[in-house]
A = this chain, B = another copy of it.
Amino acid sequence: MTWEADMVVSANNDRYVVGVDYGTLSGRALVVRVSDGTEAGTAVHEYRHGVMDRELAATGERLPPDWALQDPSDYLAVLRIAVPAAVQCAGIDPAAVIGVATDFTACTVLPATADGTPLCMLPGLEGRPHAYPKLWKHHAAQPHADRINALAHERKEPWIARYGGKVSSEWQYAKALQLLEEDPELYVRADRWIEAADWIIWQLTGAETRNACTAGYKGIWQDGHYPSRDFLAALDPDFADFAADKLDHPVSALGTQAGTLTAEAAEWTGLPEGIAVAVGNVDAHVTAPAARAVEPGQMVVIMGTSTCHVMNSADLAEIPGMCGAVDGGIIAGKWGYEAGQSSVGDIFAWFTTNAVPGSYREEAANRGISVHDLLTEEAAAQPAGAHGLVALDWFGGNRSVLVDHHLSGAIAGLTLATRPGEIYRALLESTAFGTRVIIEAFESARLAVTELIVAGGLVKNDLLMQIYADVMRRPLSVLGSDQGPALGSAIHAAVAAGAYPDVPAAAQAMGKVKRDVYHPDPASADIYDELYAEYVTLHDYFGRGGNEVMHRLRALRDRVLGAHAGDDPDDGDTTSAALDDVTGAS
């Protein structure tokens, strides 16, 4: 490296960047000092339309089950409201801002004209649901995803292995196929099918770009191309040219400059016209550099309602159950791996809402603590193994090595003496075992995991963190900011502005990590080795065909309720769910 750090730091002392993190319900702007990552000010703007999952705001039309739309005007409002507010909060001169970058939920994708206008903003189309952005958790394209997966395996498409054998109903193809088949006129009018992550950059710069992260993880862009015309035609003849017509565009590496801030966007944001704007990015992935996790083997575990695991590697390996392996998907020049657990914090929330007696709520209220705190206290009072329980963490299915959304949760070992805090602890542990399965999958593929860095809303739970350290028998480092994604975006802004030569260098200066915050306790780790062995036995029994009871129970449920079996509200999860907790006011 020829770059002279000291000189740059000195030059960057009075320079700032803005990172904007677009979550599910709000957008956050964070003003960060370029030299050292100091977080100078922040502001949040809640989307006026939130998530449209019951009715279309423009008309009041009722939406079908499992739909989830957004209004792109809300994204623009974040630029107009949250960005200036953050700058004001920071008390800096806007002229000191040298760059801006964003991260977004994904796959959140919309149809647009050739000039980037969302179809829903065209006169006469505001009443057409398919004209709006489909949020990551729009799950109504499951039948389309099922067809894509079946065909990919039938044709032995090489890319399917990069996604753990299964692409999600949330991704670009399933959602586009739904558009084509349910509103073909709008499909034709959509010159572009574009991630919101890229669309927002288009608004800031006036230039269309496509970032490597969403192209790879959500757009099946592998080895320099999209799925073949033959494949798409086999799905639907009218879909043959989908990728060529509506997706194809040069793909930009993360951290590169997409363009400069237009006069219009400068007016919205109050930032200087002409400053650098980085290419788009995704909330989970952008968190890695915020935690200085840019080297191979540094795994960032982002724990919220669900958990994402992101890690770089010099090598390509096909690992069962990956959400995706993408060249430059996290850091340019390295293979980025994303894995995940469908539900983590979701399970704990389900438990406190549905399975904790009122006496706990009363005691927690009297003591001014949360029910989670009280359960944690009860759970922490016992040593590992004392509850005699083992649980499977598949309350939201399994999108880890089994890639099976029709699995479900289980608990064994219950007695008449079992207490709520004990079940709670068993559920905490089950999610740690789930992460250990993922780490072992990486290591089985000869991708060594050398450091674990935890992030996200659940990091606040000391007991949970200690359990993870013990179950993994590794120390845990902790991301040093509550605003991981926005900080990660700010790092990319600094690189796009030329303040650092690359993202690793910027991450080194601006990222924040506390090393070895939690240390494994050898005695607990020994006990967890025993419990993990029990977990794996049950995992394989229920998840690998030993007993297909969970599938049969679900099929029976659907049959009894007369439900559409492919139309599954429990199905699918994305990185965004995990990130909501990071960015939210948890």
Residues on B with C-beta less than 8 A from A384 are 560
Cβ A420 vs Cβ B385 within 8 A: no
Q: How far is the CB of A409 from chain B (nearest CB, A)?
A: 4
A415 and B408 contact, Cβ closer than 8 Å, known pairs A527-B556, A560-B383: yes
Cβ B389 vs Cβ A553 within 8 A: yes
Q: How far is the CB of A354 from chain B (nearest CB, A)?
A: 6
Q: Which residues of A, 375-416, contact B by the 8 Å Cβ criterion?
A: 383-390, 395-396, 408-416
Cβ A412 vs Cβ B408 within 8 A: yes
Pick the interface stretch among A6-14, A293-301, A330-338, A533-541: A533-541
Pick the interface stretch among A41-49, A163-171, A342-350: A342-350
Cβ A553 vs Cβ B390 within 8 A: yes
A413 and B408 contact, Cβ closer than 8 Å, known pairs A390-B553, A556-B385, A556-B530: yes
Assembly CA distance A179 to B418 (angstroms): 32
Q: Which residues of A, 192-210, contact B by the 8 Å Cβ criterion?
A: none
At the interface, yes or no: A561 with Cβ under 8 Å from chain B? yes
Cβ B354 vs Cβ A354 within 8 A: no
Cβ B416 vs Cβ A350 within 8 A: yes
Cβ A408 vs Cβ B414 within 8 A: yes
Residue on B nearest A346 in the bound complex, by CB: B416
Q: How far is the CB of A422 from chain B (nearest CB, A)?
A: 10
Tell which of B350, B410, B411, B417 touches A570, judged by Cβ atoms closer than 8 Å: B417
Assembly CA distance A359 to B371 (angstroms): 14
Tell which of B386, B387, B395 touches A416, judged by Cβ atoms closer than 8 Å: B395
Cβ B416 vs Cβ A553 within 8 A: no
Residues on B with C-beta less than 8 A from A415 are 395-396, 408-409, 570
Residues on B with C-beta less than 8 A from A366 are none
Q: Which residues of A, 507-556, contact B by the 8 Å Cβ criterion?
A: 527, 530-531, 534, 537-538, 541-542, 547, 549-550, 552-554, 556
Tell which of B417, B420, B549 touches A412, judged by Cβ atoms closer than 8 Å: B549
Residues on B with C-beta less than 8 A from A569 are 417
A530 and B557 contact, Cβ closer than 8 Å, known pairs A354-B418, A412-B408: no
Contacts beyond the supplied A388-B554, A410-B411: 4 A-B pairs with Cβ under 8 Å:
A353-B357, A355-B423, A386-B560, A395-B415
Chain A residues engaging chain B, CB cutoff 8 angstroms:
343, 346-347, 350, 353-362, 383-390, 395-396, 408-420, 423, 527, 530-531, 534, 537-538, 541-542, 547, 549-550, 552-554, 556-557, 559-561, 569-570
